[in-house]
């Protein structure tokens, strides 16, 4: 008897019927950038991605909701920054104003999520406040995160994305929210966030002021077990969801976390992952649409139950048309 696995690959209908990994638009989350400008601006290192005005953000979020994706993740890009990131918890700050606008516009159709980190708001570009020696002060930063969380919850955020990689951030924010009566606001812990070169285009997207790097608080790319340890710590502290970031270079970590976590596990396909495929496609070196689908499928196959990707709407529309990935 000949074993012929090819029987289940012979045409599109049978491949669709026997697929072991499936994507649905609701598994996709679109990261979005909002500024105080009157008009949107293209991000040169991320073709097709914009820094939005509040008005263009609302239009793009409505399009995302029409496509049926699961949510949007908002990043604010303020005009003015200082050492403590004062704009982060200002109710009139760009991120909180945009959050309120989207919560009113599409909050019943998808989850309006907000990035909870200080790097976009500080004049030094780090994810926390600095001590007198210039190092990020972990515990002083937690106080700022709690204040930021309260402002975002008050603005109507449906989920807070804790991306700063400070020790104890989930526990601190959970306690602060609960004490203020925001017991229903879920927390996404960016639990295994690595100090990666693949964040490069993101720095342009948020006009980052960073000098130096974030290796004293983000994870060493050499460390696999540490990613799992961080994720389980976040679960113990009360995270409702945990995340691995970046995605494609850390599928081993993602699989480890997915196998061990009692809460949903997500992954962030970051700006560099996006830019590499777009750049190669522009040169005609790869098939763009197939590369996009394959890259996201591989992340879900490794264990992610949702994926933050800049292709969320495009990919959702492909899925809605019933096209083979």
Write out pLDDT tens, residues 280-306. Answer: 999 999 999 999 999 999 999 999 999
Q: At a CB cut-off of 8 Å and minimum separation 6, what does 313 contact?
A: 28, 30, 63, 64, 67, 69
- Per-residue confidence at 17, pLDDT binned at 50, 70, 90? very high
Q: How far apart are CA 204 and CA 214, in angstroms?
A: 16
Task: Find out whether the peptide bond into 138 is cis, omega within 30 degrees of 0.
Answer: no
Q: Which of 34-48, 202-216, 231-245, 311-325 has the lowest mean pLDDT?
A: 202-216
Q: At a CB cut-off of 8 Å and minimum separation 6, what does 214 contact?
A: 126, 127, 165, 195
Fold of 23-320: TIM Barrel (3.20.20)
SS3 257: helix
Q: How far apart are CA 313 and CA 82, in angstroms?
A: 34
* Longest distance between any two alpha carbons in the chain, whole Å: 75
Exposed/middle/buried for residue 237 (C-beta within 10 Å: 0-12, 13-18, 19+): buried
Give me the pLDDT at residue 148, please. 98
Give me the pLDDT at residue 273, please. 97
Contact predicate 242/266, CB 8 Å: yes
- Catalytic residue IDs: 193, 245
- Per-residue confidence at 265, pLDDT binned at 50, 70, 90? very high
Write out pLDDT tens, residues 221-261. Answer: 999 999 999 999 999 999 999 999 999 999 999 999 999 99
Contact predicate 149/183, CB 8 Å: no
Contact predicate 265/244, CB 8 Å: yes
Instruction: Please give the model's pTM, rounded to 2 decimal places.
Output: 0.96
Which two structure tokens, joined as six digits, stand for 112?
């309006």
- Per-residue confidence at 62, pLDDT binned at 50, 70, 90? very high
């Amino acid at each position: 008897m000949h074993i012929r696995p090819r029987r289940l690959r012979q045409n599109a209908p049978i491949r669709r019927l026997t697929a072991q990994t499936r994507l649905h638009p609701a598994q996709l989350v679109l990261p979005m950038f909002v500024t105080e400008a009157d008009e949107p601006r293209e991000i040169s290192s991320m073709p097709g991605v914009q820094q939005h005005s509040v008005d263009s953000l609302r239009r793009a979020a409505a399009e995302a909701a029409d496509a049926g994706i699961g949510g949007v993740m908002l990043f604010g890009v303020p005009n003015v920054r200082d050492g403590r990131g004062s704009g982060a918890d200002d109710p009139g700050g760009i991120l909180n104003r945009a959050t309120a606008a989207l919560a009113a516009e599409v909050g019943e159709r998808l989850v309006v999520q907000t990035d909870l980190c200080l790097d976009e708001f500080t004049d030094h570009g780090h994810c926390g406040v600095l001590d007198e020696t210039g190092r990020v002060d972990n515990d002083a930063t937690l106080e700022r995160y709690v204040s930021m969380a309260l402002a975002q919850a008050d603005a109507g955020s449906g989920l807070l994305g804790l991306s700063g990689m400070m020790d104890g951030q989930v526990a601190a924010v959970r306690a602060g929210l609960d004490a203020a009566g925001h017991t229903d606001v879920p927390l996404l812990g960016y639990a295994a966030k690595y100090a990666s070169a693949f964040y490069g285009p993101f720095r342009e997207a948020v006009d980052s002021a960073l000098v130096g790097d974030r290796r004293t608080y983000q994870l060493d790319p050499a460390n696999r077990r540490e990613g799992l340890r961080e994720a389980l710590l976040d679960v113990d502290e009360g995270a409702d969801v945990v995340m691995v970031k970046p995605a494609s270079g850390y599928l081993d970590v993602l699989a480890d976390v997915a196998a061990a976590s009692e809460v949903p596990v997500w992954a962030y396909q970051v700006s560099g992952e996006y830019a590499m495929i777009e750049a190669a496609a522009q040169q005609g070196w790869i098939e763009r649409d197939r590369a996009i689908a394959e890259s996201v499928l591989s992340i879900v196959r490794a264990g992610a139950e949702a994926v933050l990707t800049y292709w969320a709407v495009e990919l959702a529309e492909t899925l809605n048309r019933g096209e083979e990935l």
